[in-house]
Amino acid sequence: MSKRIAVLSGGLSPEREVSKVSGAQAARALRARGHDVVEIDPAEPFWPEKLKEAAPDLAFNALHGEWGEDGRIQGVLEYMRLPYTHSGVLASALAMDKQRAKAVLRAAGLNCPDGLIADRFEAARDHLMRPPYVAKPNAQGSSVGVVIVPEGANAPPAVLASDDWPYGDEVLIERFIPGRELTVAVLGDRALTVTEIVPKTAFYDYEAKYADGGSAHQLPADIPAAVTDEAMAAALTAHQTLGCRGLTRSDFRYDPATNALWLLEINTQPGMTPTSLAPEQAAYCGISFEDLVEWMAEDASCPR
């Protein structure tokens, strides 16, 4: 049945450009399925009025980062009583706060690296954790602002105290986990498969995620069957424990030296770009991109 769907993309976060690509891809697929699609950018003035005037049946949330996946846009949509895709207010806000999410996930029995929250200026003055460690914004996605401090580093990263730092004053200092980068998408109540990501940059940063050829994806990952099972079970547990809905993607590090699997974070708004991992896993499982966005639209609801 054809519906009128508002695709929300762009937004105010540092991930604006990626969100615009995700939104364009989703809009194209929804139109191909016969839906009446209007595209709205919440960075534009008076966007809620534009959304009301469009009178959609539902909102397809293709936003990333702040205001898109941290519970705030979800709260606006709940207030408007408009069905929407992906996770609701609480799950979105909790998953976006990496340190608090890890506390909840540890309580559910999942293995997460140790970390602490600090003011960025304090973290730039002295090592708050013995290197190697990772310093990153506590509430950003797409690996923006991530800095790896190697073993033997004489000083913490000076960039944390820079006047050009746009990611807020709260940073997460987290133990660096060596090993292989794995990810698992969850669609509804189903973990899809495990992908190993081999970045062509120093690590799986923003460029590796979204630049054409920035990383290689091995699908399915060439890892022991027991690790595959563990990663898929952990991703589903994380999705359910935080109360997520729709499509999520959980990122892991697997250390073959210790045979340990570590859950780094869960993403409630996975990218929908041509290089994105969740649509790639769906395709591997026989779910086309059009089928994927159609399922997500059918899954939209309010409240979530």
Cα 214 to Cα 28, 146, 197, 204, 300, distances in angstroms:
24, 16, 10, 9, 32
Q: Which of 133, 267, 280, 299 is catalytic?
A: 267
Q: Which of 142, 143, 215, 276 is catalytic?
A: 142
Q: Which of 210, 230, 254, 304 is catalytic?
A: 210
38 — phi, psi (to 5°)?
-120, 130
Residue pair 27/39 in contact (Cβ under 8 Å)? The answer is yes
Q: Which of 143, 271, 280, 299 is catalytic?
A: 271
249 is catalytic: yes
Query: Helix, strand, or coil here: 91?
Result: helix
Q: Which of 15, 41, 69, 181 is catalytic?
A: 15
265 is catalytic: yes
Q: Which of 41, 97, 174, 251 is catalytic?
A: 251
Amino acid, res. 6: A
Q: Which of 120, 249, 253, 304 is catalytic?
A: 249
145 is catalytic: no
Residue pair 269/64 in contact (Cβ under 8 Å)? The answer is yes
210 is catalytic: yes
Spatial separation of the C-alpha atoms in residues 206 and 246, rounded to whole Å: 24
114 is catalytic: no
Buried b (16+ CB within 10 A) or exposed e, 89-126: bebbbbbbbbbebbebbeeeebebeebebbebeebbee
101 — phi, psi (to 5°)?
-60, -40
**Which residues are identified as catalytic?**
15, 142, 210, 249, 251, 265, 267, 271
